[in-house]
A and B are shown apart, each in its own frame.
Chain A
């Protein structure tokens, strides 16, 4: 079974057709990279998959669970929407950490709110709730350690470098254990010399078998970490294949142009 199925996804902004029928599947534990020139619709695709944007037509299935279906007229309930939301995680180009909270709180906040609600709904005792919250704290510490920021637990985002902030953002997404973790150019806002620390974290996650969907301009990284590479052009998937196929033996003329342009840069 595919962990992600995207079927005939279309999206327009006004009269601009940005996605013109995207179809692809992703297998569990695989890393898929999306490359393509600026304006080809990569971010829009990721935003549709993660629920930040509503596609005009098409269907998205995550782990057998339909998270979006344009043909479905009934609006999802609040609980359903949240369930759909939690199927995917997203790491933004610009981190978007919560500035008023420490690293620890940035990572625990969403999970805490979730667990508090659950405990309330199930009428758990105060002690049980406390234990559940302590558990979150513990797992947050583990996850923060895994991105190499144990010494920054009580620091605020403004006290961190860009690379460190992005690693916190990854930890924040991981604690909710999404079925697919999406990245939108996770290193584009970083100075070249610190992209490495973020890429190292993603590489490690790939090694652990995380399912990830990564929009990136780092061709070397995409080649090394991906099981599959998707090349988008003008709102469609113009080519897809293994890194070797896409980078060494590109069939599509646009892809060839794109690759030679990025190599020259």
Chain B
């Protein structure tokens, strides 16, 4: 058992983490936006339903949600999940969309009413006000909390092992089972490096948006 061999093994595991990470981001951002608009809907039933959904998702462990998505379709509807990875992706997307949606909502609601009103009295349509006036300000405000959430996502991807997805930590646990503990700690390097890169990226975006205050 060489260092290279362990590294290759762990990289294979980390590939699963990255897959979950990127697909979750891709799915949870648009889905989160939809949830945001639902939670801000003036139509009370929709708002209430969406708020309940957010409450359930944020109020229960992601681990439990992974099990639920894996088993419930088969047990309740007789349509078993096709693969464990599909189940994991669905659970992660739903979970992160709920968190993202709250960040989006906070960002949108933090924009002063005067910005919308200024746009309106200048004859802009609602769509124009949203895209030309509000959106960039919202993005500027949500970059820091989104950065935090996304870094948490990287670490959370390891939870997928509870439904037997052979991700990074599971790969290391196999070594631990054979008496080699150090690969377990070696996994930390993978997370640290990847999150370090993400931090740099977010720092860069924040700097880019720092050209104005307010």
Contacts and interface: CB of A to CB of B under 8 A. Distances in A.
Given A96-B115, A100-B137, A156-B211, A113 B121 contact: no
B213 A99 contact: yes
B122 interface: yes
Dominant SS among interface residues on chain B: helix
Interface in A167-220: 172-173, 176
| Contact-residue bracket for chain B | 20 to 34
B132 A158 contact: no
B213 A110 contact: no
Given A82-B125, A99-B213, A113 B132 contact: yes
A221 interface: no
Contacts of A157: 212, 214
A158 B213 contact: yes
B99 to A, nearest CB: 26
A92 interface: yes
A85 B124 CA distance: 9
Contacts of A114: 123
Contacts of A158: 212-214
B121 A88 contact: yes
Given A98-B115, A100-B136, A85 B120 contact: yes
A50 interface: yes
B208 to A, nearest CB: 12
- Identify which of A89, A97, A110, A173 gathers the most chain B CB atoms within 10 Å of its CB: A110
A92 B118 contact: yes
B132 A99 contact: no
Contacts of A52: 117, 120-121
B73 to A, nearest CB: 44
A78 interface: yes
Interface in B119-138: 119-125, 128, 132-133, 136-137
Interface string A97-128: 11110000000011001100000000000000
A89 B133 contact: no
Contact of B118 (A78, A98, A113): A98
Contacts of A156: 211-213
Interface in B58-105: none
Contact of A89 (B121, B132, B136, B140): B121
